[in-house]
Structure 1
């Protein structure tokens, strides 16, 4: 039979009131780590066949997961990201209560967000004894007696939003313009701290309820996005892409802030110290950059034409006039046409996008079968959507880098061709697992647009590069293709 003071498993894991002793903290932490390892290891093995070792799981380098889940696995990245959110919440919620149980500041729980440090924190708090309790429990912070001023809640909400706004804009300016760092601290820790700080300020004098606190946290993030847009630091499209990651983290942070506000061990000085610690953490991350991992995105279609008819339209293609999908209309670059200078290995292909041209020296020229190339120059990946005429944030310069590409043609033997296009790229944005979901999907969209255009041209007998017909004919007759 469950005791009357037993909070139940769900409230114990996800709640913010049930005390957490060191033994239950250690046992629950180890059990959840084992469960998370099993989920990640099973997902990685099922997707790639790689055996995910405990050492790789414990590594603070988030890129180790990305190095294994390289390409063609957007669903796996999405599942891994979604699965991490409840574990993050449980870890934060239990660490807040364990710190209070040990007589320490609940602000220690925010160290749980720092990769590598979180494991050391788990061990330390598992060894920290429970602090003595006074005989008579007194609420850490009591609501003031007397009538509440009618506008006090609005004032507290505005102060919370303002605090979060100043914190986020300041750290964004420091990280992107000074350090030129788009990392884990900026995209993962900062939204959580914006929610935590706004939630703390909003509930500092009295507990105003979880729903209202979450609203204040989300409003703070919304104001941050508006400020970055109006200050021409970011464009609307990138803010839209960041929102699915920032919103749940902001909600989580707001609830943590509400809990911190009820603790007698957290004062304004602690919050100020936390604010000053954030740029230090950002600078450390910039000083220790994660290695770049090359990803492959491959897209395949079937063309109702033989390889000999498809090859001249792969080498180069005329104006692409089909309307793009909505996200490309908003500013993401998409292909318009492709032309080639020369023939064979050493020729240079120019694939022209809405933002400029990719310069692609040919590295493999196998008529009717394979065309491969390096990328030695590329335009910006997008035009930012902004109220200003020219907005060019630093992340448009080199943070997404296309490395090489390839087209493969396979004769299906019935007058049709299997045509596939591959792009290999690197991404210097963290958490890479999240941003790769966007880049993989956008590259697939670009591939589908170009491949569908090649298919339409080939199926109606159009020839974009007439000289390429001779190369296919030469291969069919046994002659060496030109340029080899």
Structure 2
């Protein structure tokens, strides 16, 4: 197996540097692209295979191919990996596989592991050059193998809680929790990038079994009420949810992760009376994240959910405080 692979390397890699660099980069981009499509649409996994092993491969493989029977420096290895990663990411956008925002989110992680990969490729080609074909095969095989392994790992349930103090009594706040009028346009930059954000909430019915609709820019969260403890606690399940965002792209991107990879399970609003007739309002969302590595993507998901919570809670705060002010200071005309 190794002899044919070495012969293939010799035949397919020209001596001239610029041509060899082009072949090394193009072959790596094509392989990485095919493996990415297989992982996303075939295996159905956004995980370590995509966000860790693929950048490792992109960093290592160009150095292995370019450095086959040729000297290569650590700097050359890094620049080759950087060029390959840049072309690969541009290809994802060009062929509407991913949008600009998701590429930007993944970029720090991808850059780090591309750099690690370039060091691995440099080490292989300088310390064990005869093993270069084997290393390429192992790197290629590791990506789908990892995707199949992590496909069956169930994500953990995670919660995010955000709170705000409102200068209004719990009963006034409650009326603005169960439903609230349309909000203004967001000022936060993150909501101008395509991330879905809430615009209004409506409710059909009262008490347990009522259906609350929290409407976002991409659709509606359908929330059957499971606990109605007025004016202290409102809990609900999430029966349906819309896409998490609309990708920034030159084309219409419909990546699978927009639908089924950040899944809200349930939520609650907890109201606690404070001295002076004020209210502490806490909003909590429980969700599962199927994108891995979880520790990295939770940094993004928790931050975004906090922003969504803050938009809702501050809107409730503004409306409730306005109502409380009118009740307190506006007297009927005689």
TM, length-normalised to structure 1: 0.61
Identify the residue that residue 230 of structure 1 maps to in structure 2.
94
1:398 corresponds to which of 251, 260, 269:
260
What is the alpha-carbon distance in structure 2 between the residues aligned to residue 296 and residue 324 of structure 1?
25
Identify the residue that residue 107 of structure 2 maps to in structure 1.
243
Identify the residue that residue 379 of structure 1 maps to in structure 2.
242
CA shift for structure 1 position 289: 1.1
| Structure 2 residue 38 is the aligned partner of structure 1 residue 174 | yes
What is the alpha-carbon distance in structure 1 between the residues aligned to residue 128 and residue 320 of structure 2?
73
- The two structures, once aligned, show a CA RMSD in angstroms of 2.2
Work out whether residues 410 and 417 of structure 1, in 8 Å CA contact, stay in contact via their aligned partners in 2.
yes
Identify the residue that residue 339 of structure 1 maps to in structure 2.
202
1:196 corresponds to which of 60, 75, 87:
60
2:317 corresponds to which of 434, 449, 455:
455
How does 1:84-103 map onto structure 2 within 5 Å? none
Judged with a 3 Å threshold, the aligned counterparts in structure 2 of structure 1 residues 264 and 425 are, in CA distance, closer, same or farther, namely closer
Identify the residue that residue 318 of structure 1 maps to in structure 2.
181
How does 1:142-181 map onto structure 2 within 5 Å? 152-181=16-45
What is the alpha-carbon distance in structure 2 between the residues aligned to residue 325 and residue 152 of structure 1?
51
Judged with a 3 Å threshold, the aligned counterparts in structure 2 of structure 1 residues 322 and 460 are, in CA distance, closer, same or farther, namely farther
What is the alpha-carbon distance in structure 1 between the residues aligned to residue 230 and residue 110 of structure 2?
48
CA shift for structure 1 position 373: 0.5
How does 1:40-119 map onto structure 2 within 5 Å? none
Identify the residue that residue 368 of structure 1 maps to in structure 2.
231
Identify the residue that residue 100 of structure 1 maps to in structure 2.
none
| Structure 2 counterpart SS, 1:204 | coil
**Bigger radius of gyration among the two:** 1
What is the alpha-carbon distance in structure 2 between the residues aligned to residue 210 and residue 416 of structure 1?
62
| Structure 1 counterpart SS, 2:180 | coil
| Structure 2 residue 109 is the aligned partner of structure 1 residue 253 | no
Judged with a 3 Å threshold, the aligned counterparts in structure 2 of structure 1 residues 304 and 157 are, in CA distance, closer, same or farther, namely farther
Identify the residue that residue 7 of structure 1 maps to in structure 2.
none
| Structure 2 residue 291 is the aligned partner of structure 1 residue 429 | yes
Judged with a 3 Å threshold, the aligned counterparts in structure 2 of structure 1 residues 279 and 215 are, in CA distance, closer, same or farther, namely closer
Structure 1: runs of 5 or more not aligned: 1-104, 106-150, 464-484
- How many positions carry a matched residue from both structures? 313
Work out whether residues 193 and 253 of structure 1, in 8 Å CA contact, stay in contact via their aligned partners in 2.
yes
Work out whether residues 307 and 368 of structure 1, in 8 Å CA contact, stay in contact via their aligned partners in 2.
yes
Work out whether residues 43 and 147 of structure 2, in 8 Å CA contact, stay in contact via their aligned partners in 1.
yes
Structure 2: runs of 5 or more not aligned: 3-14, 326-334
| Structure 1 counterpart SS, 2:138 | helix
| Structure 2 residue 73 is the aligned partner of structure 1 residue 209 | yes
Identify the residue that residue 271 of structure 2 maps to in structure 1.
409
Per-residue CA distance 1:193-238 (angstroms, 9 max, x = gap)? 1101022223334333222321221221111111111111111111
Per chain length, whose mean CA-contact separation is higher, i.e. which structure has more relative contact order (CA < 8 Å, sep 6+)?
2
More strand by share: 2
